[in-house]
Amino acid sequence: MDKTKILLAHSPDPDDAFMFYGLAKGHVDSGPYEFEHILQDIESLNRRCLKRELHISAVSIHAYAHLHEHYALLASGASMGDGYGPMLVARPGLSLDDVRGRKIAVPGTLTSAFLALRMAIGEFDYEVLAFDEITGEVAAGRFDAGLIIHEGQLTYADEGLELLLDLGVWWGGETGGLPMPLGGNAVRRDLGRDRMEELAAILKATIAYGLEHREEAVAYALDFGRGLDMDLADRFVGMYVNELTLDYGERGRESIRLFLDRAHREGLIPEPVSVEFIG
């Protein structure tokens, strides 16, 4: 019997690779589906989902505000910063007040990091770069500051940069300690409810497999990390693949609601978002 082909997209970074290890290597039953794994940076995936090109994709929670009519969020697959998150970094000698009026390198205007920074410091001048180029461009003096995501959060100091603002810490302070919502897995609604539920179960199973076989999954994920050794890769994966990834839980769900409600109140997203979780 022919299997139904599903385009499954995620970022080429260690935490996403860890999540999909079980499925990518055939350790998790794919059921009646054949998954084609597509690896692209999160901003590219956000924009492909705007065109409804992908069946399941990692997306930014910010981007989900523009996608919710055609995609639902899976209850598993969250990337949340629990007391940490995307960071604004600069060369030594600059303060947060100094960079408010200068150009900041950002990893994409649909990223949750970009939305959070606008909520935290207001409007600012920016230029979009590939996420893995930002620290090098700031260190070289071509930008005054950079907004960093992924493993740059662990390696920015190696390039001589200093932390100005940790947005996960900021968000926790704004919300009484809730984790900052960054990304999730979205599934296209036109697949139908039964298929969405089946796919949700398969994706939850691959995340659980990685957590249960941590050492081998981290070793696989290491190939997707830039400048990480095994210990740093394990630390990075632990930051973004944990019990909140298996299920958002009440803290995660409430944080997403607050994040998108605030963004709408501040005029940063076009309409209120009612978030639906599948699985």
pLDDT on residue 242: 86
Q: Are residues 219 and 155 in the same domain?
A: no
Q: How many domains are there within the chain?
A: 2
Domain boundary among 175, 200, 234: 175
pLDDT on residue 35: 96
pLDDT digits (tens, 9 = 90+) for 184-211: 999 999 999 999 999 999 999 999 999 9
135: domain CATH number? 3.40.190.10
Token pair listed for 29:
């039953």
**Which domain, by its residues, includes 21?**
4-80+181-278
pLDDT on residue 20: 93
Average pLDDT, the chain: 93
pLDDT digits (tens, 9 = 90+) for 95-153: 999 988 889 999 999 999 999 999 999 999 999 999 889 999 999 999 999 999 987 78
pLDDT on residue 139: 95
Token pair listed for 91:
């060369």
Q: Are residues 70 and 194 in the same domain?
A: yes
Tell me the C-alpha distance between 54 and 38, whole Å.
Answer: 9
Tell me the C-alpha distance between 151 and 16, whole Å.
Answer: 12
Please state the rounded mean pLDDT for residues 27-47.
94
Please state the rounded mean pLDDT for residues 230-255.
89
CB 128, CB 108: distance < 8 Å: yes
CB 107, CB 184: distance < 8 Å: no
pLDDT on residue 152: 75
Tell me the C-alpha distance between 88 and 100, whole Å.
Answer: 11
Task: Say which DSSP state 77 is in.
Answer: -
Domain boundary among 175, 198, 219: 175
Tell me the C-alpha distance between 82 and 233, whole Å.
Answer: 18
Q: Are residues 203 and 247 in the same domain?
A: yes
Q: How many other CB atoms sit within 10 Å of the CB of residue 15? A: 26
Q: Which residues of 50-83 are buried (b: 16+ CB within 10 A; e: fewer)?
A: eeeebbbbbbbbbbbbbbbeebbbbbbbbbbbbe
Range among 4-13, 48-57, 214-223 with highest mean pLDDT value: 48-57
pLDDT on residue 264: 97
pLDDT on residue 33: 96
Token pair listed for 86:
């995307």
Asked if residue 40 has pLDDT above 90, the reply is yes
Domain boundary among 132, 158, 175: 175
pLDDT digits (tens, 9 = 90+) for 216-238: 998 898 888 777 788 888 888 88
Q: Which residues are catalytic?
A: 150
